[in-house]
Structure 1
């Protein structure tokens, strides 16, 4: 049989190669799959790097299995074990075999991370085995490696984490006696994808105690995530969520800070990888919690604004504001009101108007989409009626023709008037004085 070296099969077109190394045992397996019908003989040539310790005879085994499937299954192979002696390794390190245990952790929580995929290369950049993936303990163990330097690359970061830029390019790791010690771990970290929400009041001051839910969009629906974790703003007003994957999300407030109106507007955001395959940290625009407001408008019966009306505002029988006074435009405003039921009472009316002390109840709603509108209250004061004075004339002081006991009324600016006009009024007053004088005159002694 003669080999025709001009005919070379193309990888991916004529065949595929799968190279797997068991990281626990170091056992390696190379599988070549032909993609087309085999109608002639083929030579398969490959090389194996043998890792042996210096100065001792060791056994190296090589097993070849060939399987085919046509009209009948054909199976055959070659299994041969050879004795090999290493006479000169060129130094104390060469030929020694060891291991290295790697653990992938979060850069913020330092918890182990599953799902990181690594590829190991020799110092010349030749891949050693197939990629390996960290388990739930975040660890991968490379065994049966000759002492020396290797290149480690991270092919895929754990979900919700970004590839480390150095690991993406490849870092050098060293296998030696120290790395091979039991319990010796080399830690590798990934930065999580971080999204930060800031809560503040209308003045820009941070608000603690706001609680949120987090959902991810799936098609046209929203699916809750992180339900086991309380998503609550801290003393700095910040809430940071880590380890989110690409996608569209939304925060929804379910509990407002004490004394504030719950803001029902969802906060939606989207995470995407940039050209480097990294999801940058995202800080959302500040989300404001508001308090309620009150606006009083005071007018007369004709709609003219009235200044000087004074009010007291209470909540749960506790005075919140006292001395709230209307301005020239007839309005008085109060802000910073916590949700709840309030009572407004007028304590002093504008000059020349009647006091209306009837309590007015209103409520600051606990929920609003954004900034709530102030509660508007319109109140009217009536003008005071003129004061009326009634004077009754004694029966024996009646003028002729006057009805006994008839009242004499006083109107502003006109003096006392009776049926007989001013003269009659004066006469009545004089008569009353005479009667009083006569009643108080002392008796003469006889």
Structure 2
């Protein structure tokens, strides 16, 4: 039997280019669609926390690098196509791309209610929102609501008792029947009023509150002080037994001084990191 020999002929540059041109082009892989997150808008009674149906929202994306929402003019932010109307449970949901800042603008209010004190609610959708989603709470107040309750917050230095200016608080009302304060999720407690900062006398007032139990959440402190380990205080009961007026005093500790080393041997003094050994 005679062995067969296969000869391989070299292909010149011109032929190789022609063969490459004749080969079918490979399609580029399709780009992965952007991640999206489920956003739940929650409309509630500002005083009782009762879910409200019929609240209509527009969604806007921050697009002009200016603070707050601009919904008109040539330099307006970008309106998202979704419109959201709350159901009997006071909620509605939309899917939005992550990695952006958005605004929920309430364009129609539930029957018998006023527009919210803050015309829009802003929220950021980070990468984690694609897994967990996010809930945005927007309260409305009845047109005929008239509540006389009030809580005065007094902020003091924990050592000297001196009043502290510029401490920022939120006030939340217990509405879900679960022990403690829940500030996130569809069944969260109710943020009763916009934030309040203490004045030169170290006080701030939350007025027009309905009867119920309230929590204070400390959000910011003056320079030189530290937030308490647990920033939530309460709950306190506001009702006829208390005369519907409460005064709450909260104390803050000063920040610990960080030691410095050096300076006596001609070298420049330096600050030691917390936990670092002194040399």
Higher gyration radius (CA): 1
Q: TM-score range by the shorter chain?
A: 0.3 to 0.5
Q: Which has the higher contact order (CA 8 A, sep 6+)?
A: 2
TM-score, normalised to structure 1, is 0.28
